[in-house]
Amino acid sequence: MSYFRTQNSATTFSSSRRQRQATTNRQWQRNQNTVAFAPKVSLGPVAHTIIIALLVAILGLIYLSQVTKTSSYGYELDRQNTEMATLTAERQGLEIENARLQALSRVADSSIAKSMVEPTSTDYATR
């Protein structure tokens, strides 16, 4: 860091960055990092290919597990819908049977049915 005094007695700041820029061939611009980091371990193209293949395989397994869960939920839903349809049909049959049995007992117990008599002769109309 260095400070310079100008003619109108204002102090300006000159960073060491400008001094480094003068000594190197690189052109530094505003908002640009001045330090270049180098990785300690470098991977070759074969290692990159293997890593990408492993990532694709892992993503494929995750996708397959999600699809399997969805289809198993679908099978369970179909089974429950079938069971519900069977129970609904059985309930309707029982309601009809209940109504039939109640109707027969009402007719047999009614006073009108008790006062009826069987006909002595039955004649049918002919053409």
Dist CA 29 CA 24 (whole Å): 13
Q: What is the pTM of this model?
A: 0.39
Beta strand 2-5 with 11-14 is antiparallel
Q: What is the pLDDT of residue 94?
A: 95
Q: Residue 89 pLDDT more than 90?
A: yes
Q: Residue 80 pLDDT more than 80?
A: yes
Mean pLDDT of 16-21: 54
Which of 14-22's residues contact partners 24+ apart within 8 Å by CB, and which partners? none
Q: Residue 115 pLDDT more than 70?
A: yes
Mean pLDDT of 36-61: 89
Mean pLDDT of 44-63: 95
